Amino acid sequence: MNFLDAKEQIRSLFLRVNPKDIPRLIDWLKSSDDLDDALVDNQKIILQSISEDLRSSLPMEAVLPSESLAIEKTQLKPQPTVHVDAFLYDDATVDTLCEEGKMSRNYCLNCGSHKTAPLDFISHSFSISELQFLFQYALPDLTGKVVVDVGSRLGAVLYGGYLYSSAARLIGVEINADFFRLQTLAVEKYNFTDRIQVVQADICTQDMLMQSADVLIMNNVFEYFLQPCDQIKAWQFIIHNFRKKGALLVTVPSIQESLSALQGEMIDPCHWVEELTLDHNIYLGKDSDPDSQRDIHLYRVQ
């Protein structure tokens, strides 16, 4: 049943409901968790299983000792900030960990007092609901297409693209050897090797791959892991090589926000890509966050 048919069925149902019960029915539709059961699919269950596997192999913040620059940059933030990987920890899991005293959403403004303020959380991965939004709603049909994830980290984009799209090939480029091994193990365990490939490399060595990509995904990929001068070089490399007309670029945050913090002579992205409008008001269950979905930006190469 498509959307128009479903809408007509619901309208017909409302006509048969006792008028005094309609407000209660509408309130139930808005607030009940019962309908979320219909939104749980096999793909989400598989992604949750991968998430659980990865959690057991990583420290709580999913930041490794080999990521010294990311640790240093986080510590230099003016507001206390912690890494909470959205693929590993949804809101319900974070709530449970807070109740168990293993995680906190707040920090003490004055040691020993009850005056607290919320911590800033930062994630370098998409959540499961964001992956569903990205591949089922933001991007078009990817049949026959090549998707490249820059800084694939835990591999969330690769797994989400495998399960929620028909992309022919999903290639993750990850420079960190530890994360490369984690992704490789997950891809092999879940039998994703027919469409997923993980490459351990600096993205600036992958010009042929950039030129062949139909979709390029960059989620919070440079700011915490490269010095500003290296960020500029990486952006210049991508702008120079990702040139296939009509190819799609997904970024978090927006290109403008990423480039505004950098100094140096950059190519104006307005002459490279145009931003496409996304409908972010997609309900994907109680775990979905429309605000985080609004951080996802889609561009088309001109």
Q: What is the mean pLDDT of the chain?
A: 88
113 pLDDT above the threshold of 60? no
Are 252 and 295 within 8 A, CB to CB? yes
**Cα end-to-end distance, the chain, whole Å:** 36
Which stretch of 42-46, 183-187, 278-282, 296-300 has the lowest confidence by average pLDDT? Answer: 278-282
Are 274 and 299 within 8 A, CB to CB? yes
pTM of the model: 0.83
Give the model confidence (pLDDT) of 11-57 as tens digits: 888 889 898 888 888 888 777 777 666 666 899 999 999 999 999 99
Buried b (16+ CB within 10 A) or exposed e, 43-75: bbebbeebbeebbeebeebbbbeebeebbebbe
183 pLDDT above the threshold of 70? yes
Between CA 8 and CA 6 the distance in angstroms is: 5
Give the model confidence (pLDDT) of 135-153 as tens digits: 999 999 999 999 999 999 9
pLDDT at 57: 94
78 pLDDT above the threshold of 70? no
